Chain A
């Protein structure tokens, strides 16, 4: 039987990918950010997940304004890094896991989550930066990946509560897959950041750390109840990406054991947060 063994949360700032690709990670600006992922890289080398369900958002790369799926699941064989306007990142292709992905897609639809199914797309920094942070720069990514793209660009994005419930449904779907697979679920994006207008540059370390506390605790009522307007006011217009963390958190169940936590300001315009959690029954 397949099982979800852990959840990872991490920001996915494009400049982090650029810093790795351009070998700047030891520079004083970047060193403290990457140091917070040392533990996680050792941990994942031991955990060796077969599959990562990677919850992220596309930033006008695979999806333009023609089609705006709220929740979309990648059921393809492989995905290439997107050219986001400065050429594709020099990272390996992302290899899919179509059997499990289609199983999850079918299960979710029967569970009343009407997913969009994607067979071909390129994946942007939202998906490849978390892989780089967790695995460094390997020749090939050590796990299969099921991309799960969430609309957090055009309003309204899904509510935090809906995201949590999608996570619960994903966990049920994984548990009903007959093959013995070690599956992780990652929630990416955030933390506080605003990339637009005169208020750009907003960072709210106090709020972010309270969110990290709530993510690491049992129960999820307080997290699920956070309305969009609170993310916008407190964490900047792009802080809304944190609803994607709730898909991961919902999939882990009510109780979790926090294994690792890291918070750093800034990466470019953004506060970087990172958690490693295990389900605790």
Chain B
């Protein structure tokens, strides 16, 4: 079997490249630290008793978590792009939109600026082309 060592990957170059992808926030360690409590709050909605308490009084429930006011407001507004900016991760945020009864298709579409119908139609037609959204610097 083939087992030669790979070439060494420089961590700074590795991370810098992520910032060159249009419309994308890669869930790096920095974002994971920033969003820790927001993601753990979302995780708590895995339990049905917590979902009941959250739905009964969202503000009271979210105030139990050591999140910034910006993070709390982004969640209360269901502004998922803002949540991503503040360190949220989509698989954790999924607990929030699942509790709202939204599918991944419905919730993900809200981040694109498209109507749910247009987003669904785009997916059925084969999805968003990678042309022009691979790299900001290289405009490709």
Contact = CB atoms under 8 A, between A and B. Distances in A.
B103 A268 contact: yes
A200 B40 contact: no
Where chain A touches its partner, the secondary structure class is loop
A227 B9 CA distance: 10
Interface in B1-42: 1-3, 6, 9, 14-15, 17-18, 21-29, 32, 36, 39-40, 42
A194 interface: yes
A269 B126 contact: no
Interface of B: 1-3, 6, 9, 14-15, 17-18, 21-29, 32, 36, 39-40, 42-43, 45-48, 51, 80-81, 84, 89-92, 94-95, 98-99, 103-105, 108-109, 111-113, 119, 122-124, 126-130, 133-135
Contacts of B2: 220-221, 254
Given A15-B105, A269-B108, A201 B24 contact: no
A41 interface: no
Contact of B84 (A86, A196, A203): A196
Contact of A234 (B15, B29, B130): B130
Given A14-B104, A83-B48, A198 B94 contact: no
Given A168-B1, A204-B130, A199 B22 contact: yes
Nearest to A197: B23
Contacts of B28: 155
6 contacts: A65-B40, A85-B45, A154-B89, A196-B108, A198-B23, A269-B127
Contacts of A165: 3
A197 B39 contact: no
Given A199-B133, A200-B108, A192 B21 contact: no
B128 A202 contact: yes
Interface in A104-147: none
B1 A196 contact: no
Given A84-B98, A234-B134, 20 more contacts: A18-B103, A61-B46, A66-B40, A85-B46, A85-B99, A154-B29, A195-B104, A196-B84, A196-B90, A197-B23, A197-B84, A199-B23, A199-B133, A201-B108, A204-B130, A224-B6, A229-B18, A233-B130, A237-B24, A254-B1
Nearest to A269: B108
B24 A199 contact: yes
Given A60-B39, A165-B3, A266-B123, A196 B25 contact: yes
A198 B25 CA distance: 10
B104 A65 contact: no
Contacts of B127: 192, 201-203, 265-266, 269, 271
A201 B22 CA distance: 13
A83 to B, nearest CB: 6
Given A14-B104, A199-B21, A237-B24, A154 B128 contact: no
A266 B43 CA distance: 28
Nearest to B98: A85
Contacts of A269: 104-105, 108, 123, 127
Nearest to A160: B6
Interface in A30-48: none
A183 B22 CA distance: 42
B26 A201 contact: no
Given A15-B105, A156-B14, A197 B126 contact: no
A202 B39 contact: no
B111 A198 contact: yes
